[in-house]
């Protein structure tokens, strides 16, 4: 494929993916803020809201699991167009009805995965496509920009969450609707180059060579995601509220700063990966971030806690583009959709379990338990993945002698 623009490292399909990522995640940003509040205003109890939020995550995990096996057979473009239209349907439900069933069905039908970040079928399929749109030596940069665009768009969407106070909810739901239609158009414009190479109809989704690798990675990612579920933004915000009595305005400023620091870290990740390798970037940036996280739990003043949190956020997400690039590099191209889907499904399901445990700990145990538990679990993941995969290097690193 010819590659033009963007420093000659990403092609037209890659640009379309990045554009659609921004179009899609702006609504996800404001839905993540308003969805629970909207349900409460419709009369849902806190327990019922929790169930609905869990359903949005698990339904997205279910879609991701299914597409892991069928997307390459029916076509990646068709699958992406289909899910873009499910977002249109979800937005339509929210826009046309205020009955209790409309937001519930929208949460299940759509892929907003509110409060959990983007973890659905879009992420898995785009993760499989991106390596085909960029030069091999810029694959990690593609994932870094991809995450930066998504994080920035989501943050911008969160800023729109205050609009219902002035114009009500319908304009935002209409925007969500329209984003689904735009997504369908953009995905339809992708070239045939995003599709996998032809293969026998009876070929399994994962080749025998890749199965042990993906099984091991999925198990390790489950540990990491389970730990991450203890420290979602809503839980961290609640921790600061309980521990230091900070008001909502202060909490908003703190988490805006953490989002900004996190977004900037994505591009730094690619530079580090070029110097020390993908796996080392994943581990050597992640480990100190988890030490800082444990430090937040033991901080005696809000200023110290915020300092540790910002230090943690400056490092904690650097592993994401490196991890995505690493997984796509060590499996065959024909296995990428299944590899992305299965590892993503594992992360989503396991991360949906720990928030309830964190809530119990905050209510009944020491307030720092969720942070310390997350830090220890994530440190264990770092040590295990380095031990198991330090000899498994992507193609572009195999010709370079290990330092």
What pTM was computed for the model?
0.78
192 plus 213 within the same structural domain:
no
Of 197, 231, 265, which one is at a domain's C-terminal end? 197
7 plus 131 within the same structural domain:
yes
140 plus 220 within the same structural domain:
no
Quote the domain boundaries for residue 100.
1-197
Alpha helices in 42-163 (DSSP H): 46-74, 76-96, 101-109, 121-133, 139-159
149 plus 9 within the same structural domain:
yes
Of 179, 197, 215, which one is at a domain's C-terminal end? 197
Q: Which residues pair with 134 in a beta bridge?
A: 10
SS3 109: helix
154 plus 242 within the same structural domain:
no
The answer to the question of residue 164 being in a domain is yes
307 plus 245 within the same structural domain:
yes
The answer to the question of residue 283 being in a domain is yes
190 plus 68 within the same structural domain:
yes
Q: Give the pLDDT score at 184.
A: 95
Of 197, 228, 263, which one is at a domain's C-terminal end? 197
In DSSP notation, 224-288 reads: HHHHHGGG-HHHHHHHHHHHH---HHHHHHHHHHHHHHHHHHHHHHHHHHHHH-HHHHHHHHHHH
125 plus 189 within the same structural domain:
yes
Closest-CA residue to 286 (of 258, 264, 317, 308)? 317
- Six-digit token pair at 383? 């040590």
| Number of independent structural domains in the chain | 2
SS3 282: helix
SS3 61: helix
250 plus 393 within the same structural domain:
yes
- Six-digit token pair at 217? 């990675």
What is the distance between the alpha carbons of residues 342 and 218, in angstroms, rounded to a whole number? 7
What is the distance between the alpha carbons of residues 12 and 393, in angstroms, rounded to a whole number? 29
CATH of the domain at 339: 1.20.1250.20
The answer to the question of residue 249 being in a domain is yes
Q: pLDDT tens per residue, the chain (403 residues)? A: 444 444 577 888 989 999 999 999 888 878 877 787 788 888 887 667 767 877 887 888 888 888 878 888 888 899 999 999 999 999 999 999 989 899 999 988 887 765 545 667 888 889 888 888 887 778 888 888 888 888 888 878 877 877 888 888 999 999 999 999 999 999 999 998 888 876 555 566 677 788 888 899 999 999 998 998 888 776 787 788 888 887 766 776 777 778 778 888 887 888 898 888 889 999 999 999 999 999 999 999 999 999 999 999 888 888 888 888 888 888 887 788 888 888 888 888 888 777 778 878 887 888 889 899 999 999 999 999 999 998 888 877 776 544 4
Q: Give the pLDDT score at 88.
A: 95
98 plus 142 within the same structural domain:
yes
- Six-digit token pair at 14? 């890659």
Q: Helices H, strands E: what count in the chain?
A: 18, 0
The answer to the question of residue 403 being in a domain is no
Question: How far is the CA of 389 from the CAs of 330, 332, 348, in angstroms?
Answer: 10, 17, 22
């Amino acid at each position: 494929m010819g590659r033009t623009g963007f420093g000659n490292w990403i092609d037209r399909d890659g640009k379309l993916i990045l554009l659609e990522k921004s179009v899609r995640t702006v609504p996800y940003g404001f839905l993540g803020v308003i969805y629970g509040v909207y349900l409460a205003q419709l009369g849902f109890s806190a327990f019922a809201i929790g169930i609905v939020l869990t359903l949005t995550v698990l339904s997205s995990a279910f879609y991701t699991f299914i597409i892991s096996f069928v997307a390459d057979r029916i076509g990646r473009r068709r699958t992406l167009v289909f899910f873009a239209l499910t977002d249109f349907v979800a937005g339509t439900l929210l826009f046309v009805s205020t009955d209790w069933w409309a937001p519930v069905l929208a949460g299940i039908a759509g892929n907003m995965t509110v409060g959990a970040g983007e973890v659905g079928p879009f992420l898995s399929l785009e993760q499989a496509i991106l390596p085909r749109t960029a030069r091999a030596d810029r694959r990690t940069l593609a994932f870094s920009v991809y995450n930066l665009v998504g994080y920035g768009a989501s943050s911008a969407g969160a800023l729109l969450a205050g609009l219902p106070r002035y114009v009500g909810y319908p304009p935002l739901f209409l925007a969500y609707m329209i984003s689904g239609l735009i997504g369908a158009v953009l995905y339809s414009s992708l070239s045939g180059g995003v599709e996998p190479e032809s293969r026998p109809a009876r070929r399994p989704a994962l080749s025998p060579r890749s199965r042990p690798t993906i099984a091991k990675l999925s198990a390790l990612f489950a540990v990491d995601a389970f730990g991450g579920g203890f420290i979602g933004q809503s839980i961290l915000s609640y921790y600061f509220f309980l521990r230091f009595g900070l008001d909502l305005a202060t909490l908003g400023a703190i988490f805006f700063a953490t989002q900004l620091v996190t977004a900037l870290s994505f591009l730094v990740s690619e530079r580090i990966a070029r110097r020390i390798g993908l796996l080392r970037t994943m581990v050597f940036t992640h480990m100190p971030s988890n030490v800082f996280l444990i430090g937040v739990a033991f901080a005696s003043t809000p200023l110290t806690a915020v300092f540790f949190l910002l230090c943690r956020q400056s490092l904690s997400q650097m592993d994401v583009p490196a991890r995505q690039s690493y997984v796509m590099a060590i499996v065959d191209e024909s296995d990428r959709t299944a590899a992305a889907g299965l590892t993503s499904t594992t992360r989503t399901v396991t991360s949906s379990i720990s928030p309830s445990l964190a809530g119990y700990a905050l209510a009944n145990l020491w307030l720092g338990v969720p942070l310390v538990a997350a830090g220890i679990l994530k440190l264990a993941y770092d040590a295990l993945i380095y031990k198991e995969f330090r000899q498994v290097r992507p193609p572009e690193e195999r010709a370079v002698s290990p330092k």
